[in-house]
């Protein structure tokens, strides 16, 4: 049972530089217990750096982080005792079987490991633990990584691109496992650059770009704020340029009888403005979260 009221994860001004490269810049982030939080960003944005800082594998240049109230540097052993971790590029001992790897990790945990649960996990992921890790495919290595992260049923899971290399069926099984853990009160923090994965599982996302946190939002809000493309076809010639200029609406393309607009936020003012014209077709297109992310990933012109 974890202490109530404490955030599962809290970072304050967390910064990491490697020489002149600032890999993570002043990260302030709070994740509550039981959340499934997606940490998004392109390669090199600082996602893995954040996770490695939380595990004390690397030390911060500035700032601090706590997991369930324990300081990630001063009390790192307590932190790791409460964390299940899956590395982005998981490396295993090729000479050990899956079962031997499980036993090695279990022997290092501070809480007892339920072998029946491990067997259930392996079965649900269709993973043969009797084989040597060296003979595993990328997908099977990743499955074993999921088993190792979950085996002690820790209150916080730090997963670095957990479904990378898994086939779609196993991806869904993994998401189900994560949802099941979250329903028990486990906090799940996972990095990804695949938006569809985040849409499937997460309640809230943080978006990193160039080491900076540029947004933290519920997935639903992120979608709501997304730009909507609207294509309007008129019975006659399209109204003259600037007719639909209003807050949140931008004209991006025009033809003889058709206008393409980009709308952010509420679409109602545009609909009301269109009511004065003979519209023969109206087509709106909700962009995927990938598009939203791509907009966030664009280099900051002010930078």
Partner 1 sequence: MKRFPLALKTLRDQRVAGTAAALVAFLIGLMDLLIYPSYKKQLADFQYPDAFKGLIGEAGSIASPTGFITAEYFSWVPLLAIVIAIIAGTAAIAGEEAAGTLDLLLSQPVSRVRLLVEKTAGLVALTIAISLGGYPAMYIGSRFVEFDLSQWRLFVAVVSTIPIALLFLGLALWCSAAMPSRSMAALTAVGVLVVTYFLNAIGGAVDVLSGPRKLSPFYWADASHVLIRGFDWLRAGGMLAVALVFLLLALRAFNRRDLSAGGREFSLPWRRHPGV
17 vs 264, which CB is nearer to partner 1? Answer: 17
88 vs 288, which CB is nearer to partner 1? Answer: 88
- Nearest distance, CB of residue 144 and partner 1, angstroms: 10
189: helix, strand or coil: strand
88 vs 287, which CB is nearer to partner 1? Answer: 88
What is the biggest distance separating any 2 CA atoms in the chain, rounded to whole angstroms? 76
Structure tokens at 132: 């040597």
CA angle, 100 then 152 then 69, to 5°? 140
- Nearest distance, CB of residue 3 and partner 1, angstroms: 18
Residue 33 DSSP code: T
Choose which of 74, 77, 179, 250 interacts with partner 1 (CB under 8 A). Answer: 77
Q: Is 291 in the site for partner 1 (CB under 8 A)?
A: no
The pattern of x and - marking residues 95 through 124 that bind partner 1 according to CB under 8 A reads x--------xxxxxxx--------------
Is residue 260 within 8 A of residue 221, CB to CB? The reply is: no
- Nearest distance, CB of residue 157 and partner 1, angstroms: 12
Bridge-based pairing of strands 9-18 and 21-31 is antiparallel
d(CA 37, CA 59): 23
Is residue 265 within 8 A of residue 282, CB to CB? The reply is: no
Alpha helices of 162-267 — where are they, by DSSP H? 168-183, 195-201, 219-224
DSSP string, 145-175: HHHHHHTT--SEEEEESTTTT--HHHHHHHH
Query: Which region among 91-99, 173-181, 192-200, 216-224 touches partner 1 (by CB under 8 A)?
Result: 91-99
The pattern of x and - marking residues 10 through 49 that bind partner 1 according to CB under 8 A reads --------xx-x-x--------------------xxx-xx
Q: Is 52 in the site for partner 1 (CB under 8 A)?
A: yes
133 vs 263, which CB is nearer to partner 1? Answer: 133
Q: How big is the site for partner 1, counted in residues (CB under 8 A)?
A: 37
- 47 half-sphere exposure, CB direction, 13 A CA radius: 28
Choose which of 28, 93, 196, 279 interacts with partner 1 (CB under 8 A). Answer: 93
CA angle, 138 then 139 then 144, to 5°? 100
Is residue 85 within 8 A of residue 149, CB to CB? The reply is: yes
208 vs 270, which CB is nearer to partner 1? Answer: 208
Query: Which region among 25-33, 64-72, 79-87, 248-256 touches partner 1 (by CB under 8 A)?
Result: 79-87
Choose which of 13, 28, 30, 59 interacts with partner 1 (CB under 8 A). Answer: 59
Strand partners, 1: none
- Nearest distance, CB of residue 210 and partner 1, angstroms: 10
46 in the Ramachandran plot: left (φ > 0), alpha (ψ -120 to 50) or beta?
A: left
Q: Name the residues that contact partner 1, by CB under 8 A.
A: 18-19, 21, 23, 44-46, 48-49, 52, 55, 57-59, 76-78, 80-81, 83, 85, 87-93, 95, 104-110, 148
């Amino acid at each position: 049972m974890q202490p109530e009221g404490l955030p599962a994860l809290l970072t304050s001004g967390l910064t990491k530089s490697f020489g002149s490269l600032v890999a993570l810049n002043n990260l302030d982030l709070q994740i509550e217990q039981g959340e499934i939080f997606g940490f998004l960003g392109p390669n090199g944005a600082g996602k893995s750096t954040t996770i490695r800082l939380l595990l004390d594998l690397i030390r911060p240049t500035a700032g601090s982080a706590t997991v369930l109230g324990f300081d990630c540097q001063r009390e790192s052993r307590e932190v790791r005792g409460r964390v299940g971790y899956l590395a982005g590029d998981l490396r295993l001992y090729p000479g050990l079987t899956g079962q031997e790897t499980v036993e090695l990790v279990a022997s290092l945990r501070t809480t007892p490991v339920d072998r029946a649960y491990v067997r259930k996990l392996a079965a649900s992921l269709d993973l043969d633990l009797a084989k040597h890790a060296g003979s595993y495919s990328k997908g099977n290595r990743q499955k074993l990584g999921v088993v190792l992260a979950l085996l002690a049923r820790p209150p916080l899971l730090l997963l670095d691109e957990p479904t990378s290399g898994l086939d779609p069926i196993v991806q869904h099984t993994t998401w189900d496992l994560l949802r099941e853990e979250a329903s028990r009160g486990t906090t799940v923090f996972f990095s990804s650059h695949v938006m569809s994965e985040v849409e499937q599982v997460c309640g809230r996302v943080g978006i990193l770009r160039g080491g900076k946190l540029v947004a933290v939002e519920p997935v639903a809000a992120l979608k709501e704020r997304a730009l909507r493309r609207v294509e309007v076809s008129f019975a006659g010639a399209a109204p003259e340029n600037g007719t639909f200029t209003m807050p949140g609406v931008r004209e991006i393309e025009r033809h003889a009888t058709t206008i393409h607009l980009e709308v952010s936020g509420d679409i109602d003012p545009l609909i009301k403005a269109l009511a004065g014209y003979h519209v023969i077709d109206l087509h709106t297109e909700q962009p995927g979260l990938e598009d939203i992310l791509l907009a966030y990933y664009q280099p900051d012109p002010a930078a």
